Amino acid sequence: MGNLRAEKEKRIEREQGDVNTTPNRKKYWESNLTGQALKVFEMDNRYFLHQALSTPVLNVLSRAHGIYIEDLNGNRYIDMHGNGVHNAGFNNPEIVQAVKNQLDTEMSFCPRRYTNYPAVNLAKKLAEITPGDLCKSLFCPGGSEAIEMAITLAKQVTGNFKTISFWDSFHGAGFAAASVGGEEHFKGGMGPMMPGAMHVEFPNYYRNPWGFEEQHDVDAECLRQIELILKREPQVAAIIGEPISATPVVPSRRYWEGVKALCEEHGVLLIFDEIIEGFGRTGKMFAGEHFVAPDILVLGKSLGGGLVPFAGIVTRKRYDVCPDRSIGHYTHEKNALCAAAALAEIKYIENNKLIEHAAGMGEYAIRRLNDFKEHHPLIGNIAGVGLHLGIDLVRDRKTKERAVDEAEIVMYKCMEKGLAFKTIEGNIITLRPALIISKEEMDRALDILEESIGEVERGILY
């Protein structure tokens, strides 16, 4: 009984990312936190609320610039996580300058009920660059709140209250966002979550509960389950998902076309959460462009230029139907400083052709990773598109048993060689560098990764 619970906890703990309470984490601290870094670490431990995945922290940073983060001891890491805010690189000088210029205009915070040039220009720019006929924006400070706004709008537009979203997905820590999220981590101990929040399987071609190997079979079963819910559970307001899952799983175009057709048939809105995938990450400006246009697009993270918190939704003109209600009544709804950062981020991505760069660099990295797979039995599967990549580590390619401890050890070994990333679901290494990464830097990162995987395979553990 005790063991079963321990095993269950281990699985739950690792849903979203690497865990900050394992023996390997302790070893990492012991050999990497010294002097001033240890002092700051201990202060952080003392004054912050502890929670899974973030506190106690991994290390103490003094700088984040370009594709790198730097710790207090002067060690530099290529950061392949960046929490998704770093599409244009950390502290991008052009975005920093745009924010400084905006501060100099003395129009930074804009009280609600007023507007300003950067806010209007940003909404106009998003209407121009987002897919389909999306053209009406609403902003807020964070991604979780933007998800809540999208759900609120879908409920108001359809008059329905239920939602369909995906197991294992993450959409934020707020109440509605955690409700549509598919992880126990954010819901356990919370009592009833948002009524009508239902979940289905994401079309995972490598790992699916039915053991299907053909894409077509997986798509058909996943669509059948959605259709079943739509027929038997009337009053669904929205289907909410990331176009490509965070792990990442890249669904077929046929799958999302099928979901969109079901939405249209049943009067349900399709919401794409592109908080991570927007702004070039997948080799398109928005990941939905690989598939279909949503009814509501949710943006965040890199929208703030990697400098300030900013998020929002963009939807169709015909859903502008709530003049008598509040969808998102946020203090920073039209913050001029945040809007200036967002405009500068988009300009930088466009001027420097980061979308094309992400597409090409992603193809190159996938080629190299597939090459590694030939020589490294620990690698079970390579997935992703653009600079949104995942490496599924397994103990056995046949059983696909998740190599959880091995993935954690690979992660700490890489950290000590100058490469930072996050694991997800315990055994999947996710690589999401800044889109400005050069081929030489990508090669360096992949060399470190291969070396570390090889060491673990040879039994050189942590």
Ligand X SMILES: Cc1ncc(COP(=O)(O)O)c(C=O)c1O
Q: Which is nearer to ligand X, 126 or 276 (CB)?
A: 276
**In the complex, least distance from residue 301 CB atom to ligand X, rounded to whole angstroms:** 6
Q: How far apart are CA 97 and CA 104, in angstroms?
A: 10
Residue 242 CA, distance from chain mean position: 9
Task: Catalog residues that contact ligand X under the rule CB under 6 A.
Answer: 84, 142-144, 147, 170-172, 242, 246, 273, 275-276, 300, 311
Please, what is the Cα angle at 9 between 8 and 11, to 5 degrees? 65
Q: Which is nearer to ligand X, 327 or 403 (CB)?
A: 327
CB atoms within 10 A of CB 353: 13
Question: Quick check: 387 and 433 in contact, CB under 8 A?
Answer: yes
Two tokens at 217? 């079979």
Q: Which is nearer to ligand X, 48 or 210 (CB)?
A: 48
Two tokens at 371? 């090459």
Place of tokens 């830097």: 441
Question: Quick check: 134 and 315 in contact, CB under 8 A?
Answer: yes
Q: Which of 455, 444, 453, 452 minimizes the C-alpha distance to 77? A: 444
**In the complex, least distance from residue 324 CB atom to ligand X, rounded to whole angstroms:** 28
Q: How far apart are CA 311 and CA 320, in angstroms?
A: 19
**In the complex, least distance from residue 177 CB atom to ligand X, rounded to whole angstroms:** 7
Q: Amino acid letter at 445?
A: A
**In the complex, least distance from residue 141 CB atom to ligand X, rounded to whole angstroms:** 8
Q: Which is nearer to ligand X, 383 or 403 (CB)?
A: 383
Helix axes 117-129, 336-351, angle to 10 degrees: 40
Q: Which is nearer to ligand X, 242 or 408 (CB)?
A: 242
**In the complex, least distance from residue 372 CB atom to ligand X, rounded to whole angstroms:** 26
Q: Which is nearer to ligand X, 271 or 343 (CB)?
A: 271
Q: Amino acid letter at 22?
A: T
Q: How far apart are CA 171 and CA 149, in angstroms?
A: 12
What is the SS3 assignment for 121?
Answer: helix
**In the complex, least distance from residue 175 CB atom to ligand X, rounded to whole angstroms:** 12
**In the complex, least distance from residue 243 CB atom to ligand X, rounded to whole angstroms:** 10
**In the complex, least distance from residue 300 CB atom to ligand X, rounded to whole angstroms:** 5
If DSSP states are collapsed to H, E and C, what string results for 195-208?
A: CCEEEECCCCCCCC
Two tokens at 270? 């399709």
Question: Quick check: 374 and 456 in contact, CB under 8 A?
Answer: no
Q: Which is nearer to ligand X, 84 or 380 (CB)?
A: 84
Q: Which is nearer to ligand X, 146 or 403 (CB)?
A: 146
What is the SS3 assignment for 347?
Answer: helix
- Residue 301 to residues 86, 112, 434: CA-CA distances in angstroms? 8, 22, 13
Q: Which is nearer to ligand X, 169 or 452 (CB)?
A: 169
**In the complex, least distance from residue 434 CB atom to ligand X, rounded to whole angstroms:** 16
Q: Which of 311, 255, 300, 256 minimizes the C-alpha distance to 277? A: 300
Place of tokens 């928005």: 286
**In the complex, least distance from residue 146 CB atom to ligand X, rounded to whole angstroms:** 8
What is the SS3 assignment for 23?
Answer: helix
**In the complex, least distance from residue 315 CB atom to ligand X, rounded to whole angstroms:** 17
Q: Which is nearer to ligand X, 162 or 422 (CB)?
A: 422
Q: Which is nearer to ligand X, 89 or 172 (CB)?
A: 172
Q: Which residue's C-beta sits nearest to ligand X?
A: 143
| Strand locations in 168-320 (E) | 197-200, 236-241, 269-273, 296-299, 311-316
